[in-house]
Structure 1
Amino acid sequence: MTSFNTLFNRMFQEKSKSVYLIFLIQAFASLCFTIIGFVSENGTPEFVNGKDTSSVNVIVAFLAVFAVMMLITSFIADFVYWIISSIKNEKINRSQTWRLIPVTDTKFLLSNFGTAFLTYIWLGILEAVTIIVTLLPMLSDQDVRKAIGQASIHLSARDWQEMLASLGLIILIGYAWYAIVSLLNLASRSIIDFLPGGSSKVLTFIIRVVVIIAIIWILGHAASIIFSVLGEFSPFAVNNYDIDYATTLLQFLVFDVVITLIDIFLLNKFVEAKQN
């Protein structure tokens, strides 16, 4: 049997190729936008701090504008990879090459969903590092250093709790997205594979639409039941403030587990792999 770590690393490496491609395209597009902006602008770049205005080195200003462009294009790049990673997940689920790897369906799906989410985070890290590095030369400007020095940020224990809870919620929601997409695809594929003439594009489209509507309706009702039940029970909450976060995290955790179990069942019992 192949270990989970080995499978996880192989999937991560495979999906990272799309991350690097999207990141390079994003960086190139940001560079082009920056050059166009500088060519179209007349005059020397300036830094404005209140009523004070001072000239900024052209290279420093160029890097700062590039950082801003990277930030703007990151929303598009992240959305594109969000879609691409979902499609990639379903291709792997149906790939005969990947399915022949000696590993349990549980490990296979967890690795598939986990690597998709982590590569998504990896893209965000690459973007953040690029933005921070290109903004560092701005520290050479005295006015910028003065403005940063005047800024003060104080985080209380409750603020840290909110940040950690929000991070956990983002992880669970991100995982839920990939699990739900797989559920929709595996459920519709399970029906199509067992119907005569299932290869018909029209029939396939109709079945997918019906299955998607049905599953969304079922998930909506199931989620409302789970959330209402768990909302009455949060054993590790210590006060009203904690109950909101603890219960919400528990609700999404249970929701993710249920959807994953259904995905595993469909993948193991009904969905056949196909040749690449």
Structure 2
Amino acid sequence: MAIFNRYFTVLFRLKTKWISLLLVIQTVASFAMTFFNFNNGHVYINRHIFSNFFTLWLAIFIVQAWLFTAIFYLTTCFQNERVSGNQTWRLIPIDDKKFYFDNILSSFAALLFFVILEIICTLILSVVTFTFDSQFHNSLIEMFADIGRHLQQVDLEIMFNFFGALMMVILCAFFGYFIISFLNYSSRALLDYLPQALSKAYFRIIAVLVIILVAWLAIKASIGLQIISFPFRFMIGETTGTNDDLAIALLLMLIINILFWFFDTILFSKFFEAREGK
């Protein structure tokens, strides 16, 4: 366990090395877009709604937060595969299955850390906007008053939906890690252990099956999107009664994640060989 924790810390530091740079780029980019809109009109945004510089900056920063979170998530996916294929990392004294889980878990922890920093930056900018924009000041007070009234209507069903939505987001994040690793490990294993023509044929079959699975998940995503959007609907007074759908969606996603985690650990420990210079 000590070795697991030690390498988790090392991997976490490796994957969070560029967080400060991403946040600086996001802050500068959002500030530049706000500045150009207010001074040169290069960016068209409704001035009636965003009449204050800081309000517009906050709005652009929040929109860009989603983009930069997605970018950071993709970088952690890339780092997962880079670490997995690194010959030096594979020589560390730890079981392959534990190392794989260490790698995935450190990526998710880095993603969670990035999201927390995004929230902190948003809150700081919100406080500044709250101080300098009277319209935003009044609107925010009214919004919290509405939330306070709606909190009186909270019951077990609403709490289940809220925390279920968070679990769905977490499971989707892990699913992305698992499916990318599966495609990487399976393709490398087929190319290494089968004749070239045969390996390409098998890889195409696997790709088709994965596409079918993703398409099926996309069809079911309407339920997931309704569930994930629940906190926002709750803030404006709407509720949802999709407990059964949420439970089924969570169970299916959990089973799929467990299956891909099982396949990935087998492929990683038995068939995936690291290469020098990766």
Shorter-chain TM-score range:
0.7 to 0.9
Matched AA of 1:244? D
1:95 aligns with 2:101: no
CA distance in 2, matches of 1:217, 1:126: 36
Match of 1:76 in 2: 67
Q: Which TM-score applies when normalising by structure 1? A: 0.75
CA distance in 2, matches of 1:86, 1:76: 15
Structure 1 residues 206 and 169: CA distance shift in structure 2, 3 A: same
1:114 aligns with 2:105: yes
Q: Deviations over 1:35-78 (max 9, x none)?
A: 2122215xxxx9969xxxxxx8xxxx433322222122223222
Matched AA of 1:38? F
Structure 1 residues 148 and 68: CA distance shift in structure 2, 3 A: closer
SS of the residue 2:183 aligns to: helix
Alpha-carbon offset, residue 269 of structure 1? 0.8
CA distance in 1, matches of 2:64, 2:83: 28
| Aligned partners of 2:161 and 2:243 also within 8 Å | no
Greater Cα offset, 70-79 or 204-213? 204-213
Matches within 5 A, 1:123-272: 123-140=114-131, 141-151=133-143, 152-153=146-147, 154-155=150-151, 156-157=154-155, 158-195=157-194, 209-217=204-212, 242-272=243-273
| Aligned partners of 1:86 and 1:181 also within 8 Å | yes
Structure 1: which 5+ runs fail to align? 50-55, 222-239
Structure 2: which 5+ runs fail to align? 217-240
CA distance in 1, matches of 2:136, 2:215: 50
Structure 1 residues 209 and 27: CA distance shift in structure 2, 3 A: farther
| Aligned partners of 1:12 and 1:115 also within 8 Å | yes
Match of 1:29 in 2: 29
SS of the residue 1:17 aligns to: coil
Structure 1 residues 270 and 131: CA distance shift in structure 2, 3 A: same
CA distance in 1, matches of 2:139, 2:214: 49
Alpha-carbon offset, residue 182 of structure 1? 0.5
Identity %: 26
Q: Which TM-score applies when normalising by structure 2? A: 0.74
Matched AA of 2:88? T
CA distance in 2, matches of 1:12, 1:205: 35
Alpha-carbon offset, residue 7 of structure 1? 1.8
| CA RMSD across the alignment | 3.2
Matches within 5 A, 1:11-30: 11-30=11-30
| Aligned partners of 1:95 and 1:274 also within 8 Å | yes
